[in-house]
Structure 1
Amino acid sequence: MILRFYRTLSFAVIFLLAHVSMAQKSVSLEDVWQNYTFRQRSIQNLNWTKDGQHYTELKEGKIIKYSVVDPKNSEVLFDEEIQRVAGKKIKVESFSLSSDELKILISTESEQIYRRSSKENNFIFDRQNKSITPLSKAGKQMHASFSPDGKKVAFVRENNLFLVDLISGKEKAITTSGKFNHIIHGACDWVYEEEFSFAKAFQWSPDSKKIAYYTFDETKVPEYNMQMWGELYPKDYRFKYPKAGEANSIVSLSVYSLTNQKSIPIQVGKDKDQYIPRMKWTASSDWVSFIRLNRLQNHMEILHASAKDGNSKVIYEERSNTSLEIESVGNDITYLADQKRFIFSSEKSGFKHLYVADIATGKVDPISKGNWEVDDFYGFDEKSQTLYFNAAAKSAIQREVYKIQLDGSNFQMISQHAGTSTANFSPDFSFYMLYFSSAKEPLQISLKSSQGTLIRVLEDNTKLKQQLKDYAISTREFFQIPLANGESLNAYTIKPKNFDPNKKYPVLMHVYGGPGSQQVLDAYPVSNDFYWYQTLLDKGYIIYCLDNRGTGARGVDFKKITYQNLGKIEVQDQIYSAQYLAKLPYVDASRIGIWGWSYGGFMSSNCLMQGADVFKTAISVAPVTNWRFYDSIYTERYQRTPQENAKGYDENSPVNHVNKLKGNLLLVHGTGDDNVHFQNAVALQEALIKANKQFQSFYYPNKNHSISGGNTRYHLYQMMTNFLLKNL
């Protein structure tokens, strides 16, 4: 009897120990923001070779060339452990190959400037003689780029455009009048870089004999001043930043001829207060194509300019009662080899689709159609007359890869799984990399043939999947919240692993909500916020996120309903959704909080004030608090100017709703934010103090809009967690 008791006890202990050893761990803030335990792997610096049969990548300091069909057939093109310059190791940060692949342009020691710009030291590695030489010894360079024939490199330094002949080694200044805060040649000013999503402002002609380039005259643009802390006397950093309604740069285009070593101006029009958001060469080296957009961004024209005399002519135009966003209209201009037609995108049907236009006649024909949106255009295969693109054709919260003939026939999905799929095609479209993930599946990168045959899997994030098994991770569940007008809003929730529908839970909502944006997407989370949420789930919270009206992938009417009233309908939708959640049996209606960053910070502070009886707590990180403080291009695209639409600027500014504040507010900002200036936080704080409203605030010295670097993110999320535990 006693023996049986001990034997039973032993089995129980063994079972208990086994169960404990198999128990999943809780996610900690250290896992998220110090160890970065859950980082997804991808392919670094992927480049297809010109023949389309190989690709290159940067892996552990080596530039490796792989055969598409035979993975064992690989070649190390450069190894930073072997190659030295004056005995010094060069750490490869990025690279590009010349057209003949005999030379490699290697970038290192980069210094970030703004979101898309940096300056670095560049080196030319000659694969034939194994020599490596500096591109220039006169200072770091920006946007260094091979000519199509691989014999020259152009770059920008100190606001001027330069040219290096790789055969002679001679360096020549194409422009000389560049000056900080006055004139920029070949690179964008701050607002173009931020809002038109490009920083390199020059293009080689197809025949390598010309360079078309931008010039920004920002002399009359007002300066914004940021103090940089850390020394005995703080330094002032002044840069040109056009706020809504203020003067923009005067932008011009020129073509430089390497033959006669002269630049000619391109005729961009008499109106100096306009935008040129895109410029590229057509299929011919005789013609430069550019887009002209008026300041209100509701009239877009595509023009062709002669590279010989600079004369230009309009070949296509579009108008809108609201605005024409360049990412949706004209962004994907692709010229056909016949030099008679071009492919472009437009929202004129009410949804973003692809069109083909005849240059001579102006005739435009739709290629894709339907009540769904094209998301990204990958290119056109001349041989098969096939277009490849990404779209939200099945659902606004998913993405698929498609192909279609130029005449609109044979519309087919070539990705296979529900979730989010994107692609990267080889130059001849015979192969492509398919990137797939879903809410439950980390990124997988597959190499496929144009027929869809799987060649091999390049990355499946096995390590991350194994790590996730050790942790108690809850995934996102998608659902819809019905509006009174019959529409539904897409949302997701994340619930604790031990969720009990009979309990009452506090809720933290996450919001962004800006025009054309999307947070509710069936893709594996890229942001570490997802793992931070796991730490909150472990403490008994439920997470919700809603894409309000004004967000993307649901057509023009849905997206542009917020025009001239940013923050009105979006805030109403977030408050309505919180009220909807409050009625759920397992939600504690007295403990609903909301947080957001940037546009989301604008939204969260507004929600706490305008929804004072709904929200108990809000965290507002790097918020816009008054659209008068934000840049011209973004703000006027949706609000027009303050001079035209003062009501739209003021009625939905949280600064003007401070008297309604009842709950707990945490306001966070970086003092070195070049994008959403610290001025926004100061203005809101001043208004709250005048209204005698108590709140908490925190600033991060010298940190930009991302508030990152070193221990910063760990500190920030620890503070936000403590604030929620105390106030929600």
Structure 2
Amino acid sequence: MSTSTHSHKRKNSHLFSQRKSSNSSMDKPFLFPDSNNGTNTDSQANENENTIDESRPTSSTIDVTDGPQTPFLQERYSMAPQRESFEFNDIENQGVTNSFFSVKSFNRPWGEWSLPEKRSYALLFALVALLLLFLMVILIPTKFTSNRTTPAETSPAGSGLNERSFTIENVLNGDFSIPEDTFHFIAPPQSLKSHDSDPGLYFTTKEIDGQTHFIAKQLFDENYEVNLGGNRFQYEGVEFTVSSIQINYNLDKLIFGTDLDPEFRHSSKGYYWTKDLSTGTIEPIVPSEEAADGNEHGLLKLSYAHFSPAYNYIYFVYENNLFLQQGNSRYSKKLTHDGSKDIFNAKPDWIYEEEVLASDQAIWWAPDDSKAVFARFNDTDVEDIQLNHYTNTKEPYLSSSKIKYSKPGFKNPEFDLFLINLENEVLYSVNTGGQKDSILYNAKWISPDSFRFEITDRNSKILNAKVYDVPSSKLLTVRTTDSNSFNGWIEKTKDILRIPPKPESKRMGYGYIDIHADNNGFNHLFYYPTIFAKDGIQLTKGNWEVTGNGIVGYEYETDTVFFTANEIGTMSQHLYGTSFADPSTIGALQVIQNPSDKYDFFDFELSSSGRYAVSRKLGPDAPMKVAGPLTKVLDLANVNGDSVVQLTRDRKFKETIKNYDLPITSYKSMVLSDGIEINYIEIKPANLDPKKKYPILVNIYGGPGSQSFTTKSSLAFEQSVASGLGVIILQIEPRGTGGKGWSFRSWARGKLGFWEPRDIIEVTKNFLQKNKPHIDENKVAIWGWSYGGFVSLKTVELDNGETFKYSMAVAPVTNWTLYDSIYTERYMNQPSENEEGYFGISTIRNFKSFESLKRLFVMHGTSDDNVHIQNTFRFVDQLNLLGLTNYDMHIFPDSDHSIRHHNAQKIVFQKLYYWLKDAFDGRYDNTQHQQL
């Protein structure tokens, strides 16, 4: 172990010089003193939380098993803009320079070429002409025997494929993956108040003697390095491999997770271990030795195990009961005793994990480890769904599993809150003051003695923010939000920021910063100066929103809050700051990144003091990730390498893409006939031929409050279709989606599936009309996954074959009474309260309209715990009753909503790609009445 001899003194001032092009109100330099797990596996995943597929944990578990993924498995993508205003009428001036990689173009005017270039190409053209003449002489006598002809003016799928095109196979093979080095900040036991005290402690991995080792390092001192050991270890003669790791700030104890079996989106079960770094001893975490007796190697699978924030305790859940042990003890204390298949302690049931908490935990710790509050969910009255399992070859009979799953209008789980007071070792019941059938939303300790939580009515329309004061045992409602006032709903809320006392600024108590809608219907930052404050001070305002993860950091010395927002453009995301230190400047927006880079999309993670940051540029250029002092990782085009750690390894990627002409992406908007402006992305094949007509594929998600299509970069499914099949892609963000305020979002209220198809059809028709000479209107398709699958089917139902000729729907909702209650009722209320919305608008009803399609393709996994396959089976049954045969269906045994089981995800995208190729090649024309 080597340690630094440096003190953490100030090296560079935090200086963010205002760019000349900035539109900030600041006219002086911006000065600072220097001082977790579930992957959204829906292929239509997006940045916003409010999707049907979707508080920082007190001690985050870091997954260390995920290797490089093909891009489409991770997030929604788009490519860099070529020219914002490019349309087909610009085609002669198009050029092939792609700003993603600055590939040089040969589309220069002849007059600009040098004399040697002219001579070289003149000689080349002469040779080509001679070769063509030779081939004509040879081929003229040959009879043409093919019975398939293609009109010269059309562009069949595959015709754009040449040696510089790529296909779905390139994507699936990982040709465009960009590996990233492991980097995770190690959280201190208490928030660091000065830059001087923050060394930027983090861990990474290193290969040593053929094994992966975990290494603790500092951003302050590049020579500091502590080897925490390897990722494999022996226990009772058996080798185990680490899947997740947690490291305490003193670097003397670790928690390992091994053999993790996924349950749902965020949850899993596995073996957990502690490692004492002073002795190297590794011990399993078990409820008791007696409980583990009789199990293989004395091990039991836990739902999770974590350090408390100050690292004084380890807490874990086994069989839905909560256990606690002192940090230096091998023995645990069982805090609850009623855990069962119906009772969940400190762990959410299915619907709370999926729709509200987005976590495998339901416990919240005071920052000093003195107390904790956990939720108990009672699902006794919640109905089960049953998932059959088909691929277990060891059993002759079907096995199955049951999940407690609340549907619209049926019983929801009930919740209770319990306080663990570690100072007197007493467990208390907390009176939530909520009505029956309410929903627990965000929760957070504002101070060591004050616990804040939010509850809503069943329909998520009225939110009450409450604070429980431990010393007085009082519960106060500090704020009420009526979403009916802006015709909206209560969404999953973002984590709030605790603001500590600061006596030197005469701030004697705790406060917090929350994110919620302002009077104009845009989500902004509000500062609540005291724990019980009823009114917040608005820190940001404008016709834009705080986006992404919201608040990403806080600097105590200047009381500056860092956050991400789409102030520059609704499809992009940048880092901003605002300070509440000086009352005269409250509300001033600090523009930290260059506002002229309007297409950039950034994510940030800051260290505890705000001194250091992980910066991820996700688009429109190739993704890039670095870590270093915040001031030096804002502009990744001009990174100072002296103190910055490069985390992306993209050399192979950059070499690979030299072999391809990449699709050209433009970010656009269109004003519809009723004045609503819709954003969309256009992805075109490189080197468009003005003499050809091109097919169209519309890609849609469209879930309420979601934001699927941004300026994030991508080389994934849609790009492979554009390149390999010669297809133009439109990705449309209809009204009801997020990022543009509640006046845009609230269109979805009460009528899912009404406005989305209308917007999609109008945008597509306008695009077709504007580019009519260059589009094959008989080859227009639409596709989506999950909510996108639902919208695809609703669009076909409304369109009735006028615009769309083909459709692909993966894991679609077809009837909202079959989906979960909290998500659906958030937008639709209960079926008894909105019968027309459920059955007249949002359900697929006009099955006869699918006869107008040339072909339909539906896919679903049988173990989809999210959108049950019941949706697809009911839909297909109705097609069968009408005698329709113009559809194909592919079922994936035992796959969940992500469709990954037994190599399934690769097959999904291969099927989509080659089915689409066959469709655009005309193989499905005039087949709808043929007998299969």
- The answer to whether TM tops 0.5 is yes
Q: Distance in 1 between matches of 2:658 and 2:751?
A: 46
1:43 Cα deviation after fit: 4.3
Q: After the TM superposition, which residues 178-327 of structure 1 pair with which residues of structure 2 at under 5 Å, given as runs?
A: 178-180=339-341, 182-196=342-356, 197-230=358-391, 231-284=395-448, 286-307=449-470, 310-321=473-484, 322-327=487-492
Extract unaligned runs of 5+ from structure 2: 1-122, 132-161, 189-196, 293-299, 502-507, 635-639, 921-932
Is 2:184–2:204's contact at 8 Å kept on the other side of the alignment? yes
Which residue is equivalent to 1:113? 263
Which residue is equivalent to 1:27? 166
Q: Distance in 2 between matches of 1:308 and 1:361?
A: 18
Q: Distance in 2 between matches of 1:423 and 1:48?
A: 16
Which of 327, 330, 345 is the aligned partner of 2:515? 345
Q: After the TM superposition, which residues 460-475 of structure 1 pair with which residues of structure 2 at under 5 Å, given as runs?
A: 460=648, 461-475=650-664
Q: Distance in 2 between matches of 1:473 and 1:91?
A: 39
Per-residue CA distance 1:659-712 (angstroms, 9 max, x = gap): 222102111110000000001001111222223322221211110000114421
Structure 1 residues 713 and 451: CA distance shift in structure 2, 3 A: closer
Which of 51, 68, 75 is the aligned partner of 2:226? 75
Q: 2:589 is matched by which residue type in structure 1?
A: F
Which residue is equivalent to 1:356? 527
Which residue is equivalent to 1:19? none
Percent identity between the aligned chains? Answer: 28
Higher-Rg member (1/2): 2
Of the structure 1 ranges 290-299 and 653-662, higher mean CA displacement relative to structure 2 is found in 653-662
Q: Distance in 2 between matches of 1:267 and 1:654?
A: 40
Q: 2:350 is matched by which residue type in structure 1?
A: W
Q: Which has the higher contact order (CA 8 A, sep 6+)?
A: 2
Q: Distance in 2 between matches of 1:508 and 1:119?
A: 40
Per-residue CA distance 1:237-272 (angstroms, 9 max, x = gap): 111000111111001100123354432111112512
1:59 Cα deviation after fit: 4.9
1:48 Cα deviation after fit: 3.3
Which of 272, 280, 284 is the aligned partner of 1:122? 272
Q: Distance in 1 between matches of 2:537 and 2:661?
A: 52
Structure 1 residues 260 and 456: CA distance shift in structure 2, 3 A: closer
Which residue is equivalent to 2:816? 627
Which residue is equivalent to 2:900? 708
Structure 1 residues 393 and 149: CA distance shift in structure 2, 3 A: closer
Q: 1:528 is matched by which residue type in structure 2?
A: A
Which residue is equivalent to 2:7? none
Which of 720, 733, 740 is the aligned partner of 1:534? 720
Of the structure 1 ranges 494-503 and 190-199, higher mean CA displacement relative to structure 2 is found in 494-503
Q: 1:365 is matched by which residue type in structure 2?
A: I
Which residue is equivalent to 1:599? 787
Which residue is equivalent to 2:250? 100
Is 1:195–1:634's contact at 8 Å kept on the other side of the alignment? yes
The count of corresponding residues between Structure 1 and Structure 2 is: 705
Q: Secondary structure at the match of 2:409?
A: coil
Of the structure 1 ranges 379-388 and 592-601, higher mean CA displacement relative to structure 2 is found in 379-388
Of the structure 1 ranges 144-153 and 235-244, higher mean CA displacement relative to structure 2 is found in 144-153
Per-residue CA distance 1:68-109 (angstroms, 9 max, x = gap): 13434333222225x543454442222122243311112121
Extract unaligned runs of 5+ from structure 1: 1-7, 17-22
Which residue is equivalent to 2:546? 374
Structure 1 residues 437 and 147: CA distance shift in structure 2, 3 A: closer
Q: Distance in 2 between matches of 1:393 and 1:59?
A: 39
Q: 2:457 is matched by which residue type in structure 1?
A: N
Which residue is equivalent to 1:435? 616
Structure 1 residues 457 and 149: CA distance shift in structure 2, 3 A: closer
Is 1:149–1:208's contact at 8 Å kept on the other side of the alignment? yes
Q: Distance in 1 between matches of 2:388 and 2:703?
A: 29
- Which runs of at least 4 in structure 1 moved beyond 4 Å after TM superposition? 450-454
Per-residue CA distance 1:645-664 (angstroms, 9 max, x = gap): 01111223453021222102
Is 2:366–2:447's contact at 8 Å kept on the other side of the alignment? no
Which of 589, 613, 624 is the aligned partner of 1:411? 589
Which of 56, 62, 78 is the aligned partner of 2:203? 56
Which residue is equivalent to 1:426? 607
Which residue is equivalent to 2:333? 172
Q: 2:815 is matched by which residue type in structure 1?
A: N
Structure 1 residues 288 and 135: CA distance shift in structure 2, 3 A: same
Q: Distance in 1 between matches of 2:369 and 2:455?
A: 25
Q: Secondary structure at the match of 1:282?
A: strand
Q: Secondary structure at the match of 1:635?
A: helix
Is 1:47–1:57's contact at 8 Å kept on the other side of the alignment? no
Which residue is equivalent to 1:488? 677
Q: 1:189 is matched by which residue type in structure 2?
A: D
Q: Secondary structure at the match of 1:318?
A: strand
Per-residue CA distance 1:118-161 (angstroms, 9 max, x = gap): 12211111121222211226311223111234232001111110
Q: Secondary structure at the match of 2:558?
A: coil
Q: Secondary structure at the match of 1:655?
A: coil
Q: 1:678 is matched by which residue type in structure 2?
A: I
Is 1:227–1:672's contact at 8 Å kept on the other side of the alignment? yes
Q: Distance in 1 between matches of 2:846 and 2:509?
A: 56
Q: 1:341 is matched by which residue type in structure 2?
A: G
Residue 693 (str. 1) matches residue 839 (str. 2): no
Which residue is equivalent to 2:109? none
Q: Distance in 2 between matches of 1:457 and 1:45?
A: 10
Which of 693, 696, 699 is the aligned partner of 1:504? 693
Is 1:204–1:212's contact at 8 Å kept on the other side of the alignment? yes
Q: Distance in 2 between matches of 1:218 and 1:344?
A: 31
Q: After the TM superposition, which residues 6-45 of structure 1 pair with which residues of structure 2 at under 5 Å, given as runs?
A: 25-33=164-172, 35-44=173-182
Which residue is equivalent to 2:909? 717
Q: Secondary structure at the match of 1:520?
A: coil
Structure 1 residues 202 and 700: CA distance shift in structure 2, 3 A: same
